[in-house]
């Protein structure tokens, strides 16, 4: 019976425990919140910020974004996929893509340029990363790992200094 309880406790920890996005320690505390614009609805999403307490870790604060929010970029994961398929793969005119996504043509252009790097990286990483085959089946569990890798690849300077909550796309 005790063994069963320990197993249940350990599996719950491995699934739900927040870890530092830099050093992966669980030695963290909550450290305030901030708001991000919801990329789909005209509302704000409250984001929890954490403080890493490990003395060896260069990161001070970090946050864990909920699916489908991405670090730094304003568009969702789904918008990137749709934008890529329409604009890059099917080569639909920018005016059509911006109309369907309900974003300006300038943003559509920047999204298309970003997707030229993002989509090939995503499909490559999906074959080798732990989150790869599981991300879309269980985003609540794997989203933090994916967004960590995303930040490290596309915004390494920002990833080095910690919390990233300003959108630029």
Q: Where does this chain bind Zn ion (CB under 5 A)?
A: 20, 22-23, 52, 54, 57, 59
Looking at the Cβ atoms of 75 and 148, the one nearer to Zn ion is: 148
Contact 19, 26 (CB under 8 A): yes
The smaller minimum CB distance to Zn ion, of residues 57 and 73, is found at 57
Which CB sits closer to Zn ion, 45 or 51?
51
Outline where DSSP puts E strands in 53-119: 61-63
Cα separation, 125 vs 136, whole angstroms: 14
Task: Dump the DSSP string for 3-22.
Answer: HHHHHHHHHHHHHH----TT
Q: What is the nearest approach in angstroms of Zn ion to the Cβ of residue 26?
A: 10
Q: How far apart are CA 59 and CA 12, in angstroms?
A: 26
Which CB sits closer to Zn ion, 54 or 88?
54
Q: Partners of 49 in the beta sheet?
A: 63
Closest contact distance (angstroms) between CB of 63 and Zn ion is 13
Where residue 32 falls (left for φ over 0; alpha for ψ -120 to 50; beta otherwise) is left
Long-range contacts of 31-38 (CB under 8 A, 24+ apart): 31/61, 34/63, 34/165, 36/65, 36/69, 36/165, 36/167, 37/74, 37/167
CB of 52 to Zn ion, least distance (A): 3
Smallest gap from residue 53 Cβ to Zn ion (A): 8
CB of 50 to Zn ion, least distance (A): 9
Q: Which is nearer to Zn ion, 50 or 84 (CB)?
A: 50
């Amino acid at each position: 019976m005790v063994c069963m309880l320990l197993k249940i406790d350990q599996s719950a920890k491995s699934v739900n425990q927040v870890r530092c996005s830099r050093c992966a320690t669980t030695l963290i505390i909550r450290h305030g919140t901030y708001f991000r614009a919801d990329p789909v609805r005209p509302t704000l999403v409250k984001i929890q910020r954490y403080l890493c307490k490990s003395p060896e870790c260069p990161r001070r604060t970090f946050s864990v974004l909920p699916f489908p929010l991405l670090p730094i970029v304003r568009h969702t994961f789904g918008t990137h996929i749709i934008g890529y398929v329409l604009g890059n793969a099917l080569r639909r005119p920018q005016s059509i893509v911006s109309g369907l996504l309900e974003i300006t043509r300038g943003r559509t252009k920047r999204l298309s340029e970003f997707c030229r790097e993002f989509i090939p990286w995503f499909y490559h990483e999906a074959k080798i990363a732990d989150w790869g085959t599981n991300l879309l089946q269980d985003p609540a569990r794997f989203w933090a790992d994916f967004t960590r890798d995303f930040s490290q690849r596309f915004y390494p300077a920002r990833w080095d200094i910690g919390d990233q909550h300003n959108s630029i796309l």
